[in-house]
Structure 1
């Protein structure tokens, strides 16, 4: 935390202490019951977590992206779903700050900063997956309104979000296709249906939903920014933050798995000694700690790059790729270290093992991340800092 201001360090410590005192004791019960964590979300609002990306005059607790990453790590260390509850919200806040009109900022950001209004983004479609340019959701201009039709899937926080940044086609005939894509700031109303919650391996408590739009009418003022056709580029910039957030979630899950394993390896004995003294277990711990530290440094590097105003899609992609794969391996090794207990629902490591895969496929699959990294490597022609 050496790069953070004194105030930012205090924020990270506040969240860390809250996770230890209020999240860790209840996370397992809430997760296994798939219960929405209403009380924990309210506490996050009071701590200003939903306003970490919102500066004055709309908010009071704007922090640097490295600080945001470390706060996200702390939340995910307690329960990854809590970090998920503020991920898309932050991306929408960044979209508004970078591209929104003055009226849009004044309308939404003050309530988003307090968590009174929570936001999410709607990108993925049932038949499109990672190919966002192939989306079929359309917004057709009709006077001073858009008429929206289509569907989205895997939309986190959809039931509890009052604002949706909807990626859609305002010009389905545009060539290339991305020039016809826009973002609409959509609030719930007639024609907008949250159809069902999707069942999941992990990431419990916080909902992931299917959305449908049937002749939904929204005012043309709902268009993010001043002109149509900019949505794809806007969202790609927003996803740099989204991928840093997912990387930070991986850090949190990996750290929780390592901390539990380190404690268990000192308490559990076999053949008369703590099991960490057996070389195979000690090697696991050493590898886990090394991967986690490397993942955190890579994520913080990308966060600093983003704050410098530089293009950071390659760095954010690297961070997301490496941190998520590290979290998956660390979670698996935690199960190995715990032995049979690692397979028991009485220990948290089985939850880490179920939560970790989300970061591999979320916010762009790791296969997509590798494509992004390769394209940027060729375009830049160097990996020099």
Structure 2
């Protein structure tokens, strides 16, 4: 995936959990762009892109159309991730004209979205209403639309889940098909700890979403679909967090900034440095994790290693990419639950397959040679 970050980290709100905050704090969130340089790099890359932020709709509308026209002429479509606040009639016209798939980031209606702070409570609620209204507008207009949201105490505590589920039910009835749910990343933001669940609370909340999904007609949460497909090795999920990512090359995600420079996935910029992308990738993290015991931050003897691989280095314990994800216990609990569901269907998840260790050895041999196979190809070739 190519993230096109023309405005760097420039945004119209100040989400307390934004993973780009270290870049902003360090002054490395460049917000100028040269479209000729950008189009040259995109031509060389030859891949479809997602217009990313910060908030990309802060762009001049004429320049925005140039970007969408470029994407449509070469790839037949465009993709955009936005908080939805700034969408106007002109934007909607562009979305229709240039086949733009829109992802909207909002954590819920009203007070459920308060962690996406806009400076004052009044302004935060006003922006939340605009974002929600525009999300509904996109669905009613038939524009391909997805949803991204974080699981927080603000939207997923016991007394707020009913309102969250009511909102999601409405979106489901309007035809929303895909939602990506995220674990709240606290990192170094002490204030966020008031909004973040502990591991057991997170596991309970995610289980509630998993049960709730069965009541919906159209909407699916990609996390649970990804985990099931990994346990069955039926295909490779598009979500890169399961794909043995090298934190210094992030092969699954390339960023292109406003000056046409290639850099890495923003989720690995924990030091506030937007590292440039090197040519060679390494998988030392995964070779080490496989052999390091749990108490030292590793994955030794975990039957879900093939699926998880320690998950995203951007969420590694203690901010050290060499460790496994700080969300290990959450994902392990969800894998265990989905594993049991697969067993009741009369199928064998690869986590319990007699050839699992042979496949693990095969994966490690590939990684040691700089080859990162999909799980599906690893098992079927």
TM-score after normalising by structure 2:
0.29
Hey, which of these two has a bigger chunk of strand by percent?
1
TM-score after normalising by structure 1:
0.29
Hey, which of these two has a bigger chunk of helix by percent?
1
